[in-house]
Amino acid sequence: MPSPVPVDRRWLASFRRRLRTWYARNARKLPWRTSRDPYAVWVSEIMLQQTQVATVKLYFERFLAAFPTIEALAQADEHDVLRLWEGLGYYRRARQMHEAAGILVRDHGGRFPRDAETVRRLPGVGRYTAGAILSIAFDAREPILEANTTRLFSRLLALRGEKKGTGTVCAKPGSDRRLVAGRCGKLYLSASSSAQLLWAMAEAVLPRKDTGAFNQALMELGGKVCLPKRPRCDGCPVAPLCRALAEGIQSSIPPAKPKRAIQPRHEAALIVRRGRHVLVWRCPEGGRWAGLWDFPRFPVDAARSEPIASQLGDQLRQQTGVVVEAGRHLATLKHSVTRFRITLDCFEARWLSGPNAAGRSRELRWLRPAELADYALSTTGRKLAELALRRA
């Protein structure tokens, strides 16, 4: 292994100065940047997971208006939380945040803890989210690593994605931690991983104060300039410090992940009518859209000789005891969920027998179509509700 050469203080000082100057001029005005309230920061960070900033803006303000404090969120019914989350997707985030709010009220007096390990034990909070909350809200010197900063650091280090032998961190007694590089310009990590190197880099670049703003600047640079495709190197404030740019390999770093094969899936849903009511059920734990309400839907096999409508009737009777007479086909919807490309056929059906009380069963309800406006549904469930309302 080549002898290590430290990324010295001059490099770090230049990087921090360039980034701060750029961020002061280019930071977006976002609603969650107006407060250092740890609750508001927490809500924004959970919403921003796998979701575009433009989408989160409206949801964030509406959510805080409904649940302005940790106590308010903890006391809310989970269904109300999911209803406000509707359309953001990845609904487990909302359920975990609701659960975590209860823990904060019960175990921490409704205050957000400042200890990183305690925060990371909350449902739905990992190392990145904990670091973001603590640095932004409390100016704690906590590193962050998410998609934008991973890409930024990978290019700064010309990290080609090797799983071993790609970098290291040195720490001498009484000295600051230092990233080290081989004379050839690559970083080396003894018996460890590229992920650990990136976390080490995220920690090494942090200043001693104003870490929250600095972490946001890192994410902003990755999100606006150091783009996945066609990075805007001409406008990058840290371009002179970027090893990938110097080597002309910035567009190939980080290496593209293999795309998961898209699997076609055929499902069908029933709008079951009993007089002026339609049938909905609560999606079970462990399944897709757990905790949300939906019209009965099932996987179907179009290759079977039995008509799809008959398949639906049989499955509905087996799972709920409701017996129906299948009616006409109403619509076909296409949508994607994770690796599945789903074709959803919707059929009308008339109730014949089975559970028919209009009471509020926990898992099965008969509702007037207009009542569905108050129920948390998936995106396709909402489209079916609109269809049911139009045909009411």
The DSSP 8-state label assigned to residue 187 in this structure reads B
284 and 290 Cβ atoms separated by less than 8 Å: yes
355 and 361 Cβ atoms separated by less than 8 Å: yes
- Can you say whether the dihedral through the CA atoms of 106, 108, 114, 117 is positive or negative? negative
Q: How far is it, in rounded angstroms, from Cα 335 to Cα 379?
A: 9
147 and 222 Cβ atoms separated by less than 8 Å: yes
Q: How far is it, in rounded angstroms, from Cα 39 to Cα 112?
A: 7
The DSSP 8-state label assigned to residue 132 in this structure reads H
User: What is the dihedral angle through the alpha carbons of 230, 236, 241, 247, rounded to the nearest 10 degrees?
Assistant: 20
Q: How many other CB atoms are there within 10 angstroms of residue 381's CB atom?
A: 22
Place of tokens 């310009």: 185
Catalytic residue selected from 45, 142, 267, 348:
45
306 classed as catalytic: no
106 and 99 Cβ atoms separated by less than 8 Å: no
Type of residue numbered 34:
T
Which residues have CB under 8 Å from 335's CB, separation 6+?
A: 342, 344, 379, 380
- Chain-centre distance of CA 169, in angstroms? 30
Provide φ and ψ at 192, rounded to 5°: -145, -155
Q: How far is it, in rounded angstroms, from Cα 91 to Cα 107?
A: 25
Token representation of residue 93: 């985030």
Q: How far is it, in rounded angstroms, from Cα 266 to Cα 252?
A: 37
> In 3D, which of 271, 282, 277 has the Cα closest to residue 312?
271
299 and 266 Cβ atoms separated by less than 8 Å: yes
The catalytic residues are 45
